[in-house]
Amino acid sequence: MPMKTLVEFINEKQAEYPEATGDLTRLLNDIGIAAKIVNREIRRAGLADVNGLFGSTNIQGEEQKKLDVFANEQFINALKHGGQCAALASEENEDMIIFGNKYSMNGKYVVAFDPVDGSSNIEVNVPIGTIFAIYKRTTAIGSSGSLDDLLQPGRNLVAAGYVMYGSSTMLVYTTGNGVNGFTYDATVGLFFLSHPDMRIPENGTIYSINEANYIYFPEGVKRYIKYCQEDDKATLRPYNTRYIGSLVADVHRNLLRGGIFIYPGTLKNPNGKLRLLYECAPMAFIVEQAGGKATDGFRRIMDIEPYSLHQRSPVFIGSREMVIKAEEFMQQYSNDFVEKM
């Protein structure tokens, strides 16, 4: 049976909805094209000049890598010229970008994205990724986009996905009807359906967390880590710890094998480190659509109302039973922590 390409798959799904205009299909295709260009440069890392620092910092106060800047430009250009996106938010830009041309002003959608998740890993040849979130705009078609278009809770997402640049390059996405993964074949320049109807196991034996910050963790997280390390054959404990330092790579592994990824609030940073709009919410949408769960330790990520483009949030995401157990520890031992968030 011939393999199905990303474009063929998206077109098939569009055909199931007679009222569909094809705008979302074209937008997803544009993102796929930008991902191919970024993938090409990543594969040349060490040979081409994409490693190292660019010489500036982003709004997060983080030093920008050359690849951060390159990838950001590719996705902005793809979205600007496609005509389906009215405005966007990027981790690398302080303010939202409103294209303002007559084609984009008629766009139905806005996009929030992290062009390179885990970019510090590229120089040591460890997986990195791109994350994107797509919303329907709330302002009138034909007008310029506004901040309100982007400041929507995750439950309003119409599509979300990630691209993982690892031993192979994969694009995984959802439009609210399950999760499907596509592997890139560089010999023909196409993404092929390789992981249809992805489902995360209800439980798992992997926990992913940066334990270097242990002394700053709330008591509930400390207790959960100890729970993961206890010997109990009935629950297959102790669990294995695996932490790559790339949200995309850690969540992707847990999506396939079962596990939990935690980036909690800490005493130093009660709201955590990861950004709600273009990291936590889109990954939560994907994991929920695969049968998993995502919270900030107390609330469903998808229900958090954003108030700024670069708002941060703690995140507990992965296999449903593991997230529920972690929430129990947070509610029992760190219930007062929610007031600091």
The DSSP secondary-structure symbol of 145 reads P
pLDDT of residue 54: 44
Rounded CA separation 134/143 (Å)? 18
Whether pLDDT at 100 is above 90: no
CB of 269 closer than 8 Å to CB of 312: yes
Residue 44's SS3 state is coil
pLDDT of residue 55: 46
Rounded CA separation 193/147 (Å)? 35
pTM of the model: 0.94
Rounded CA separation 141/104 (Å)? 9
CB of 310 closer than 8 Å to CB of 274: no
Residue 161 parent element (H or E): strand 157-165
Helices (H) and strands (E) in the chain, counts: 9, 15
Q: For 173-226, how does the pLDDT look when each residue is reduced to its tens digit (9 = 90+)?
A: 999 999 999 999 999 999 999 999 999 999 999 999 999 999 999 999 999 999
Residue for token digits 């709004």? 59
CB of 121 closer than 8 Å to CB of 127: yes
Strand partners, 130: 163
Q: For 14-23, how does the pLDDT look when each residue is reduced to its tens digit (9 = 90+)?
A: 888 777 788 9
Q: Where are the alpha helices (DSSP H) in 230-280?
A: 247-257
Domain ranges, ordered by start, for the chain = 6-195, 206-340
6-195: CATH topology: Fructose-1,6-Bisphosphatase; Chain A, domain 1 (3.30.540)
pLDDT of residue 6: 95
Sign of CA dihedral 247, 252, 255, 257: negative
CATH 1.10.357.10 fits 206-340, yes or no: no
Instruction: Give percent above pLDDT 90 in the chain.
Output: 78
Strand partners, 172: 162, 181
Q: For 14-69, how does the pLDDT look when each residue is reduced to its tens digit (9 = 90+)?
A: 888 777 788 999 999 999 999 999 999 888 876 555 554 444 555 565 566 788 89
Average pLDDT over residues 232-251: 96
Rounded CA separation 259/252 (Å)? 10
Rounded CA separation 10/26 (Å)? 9
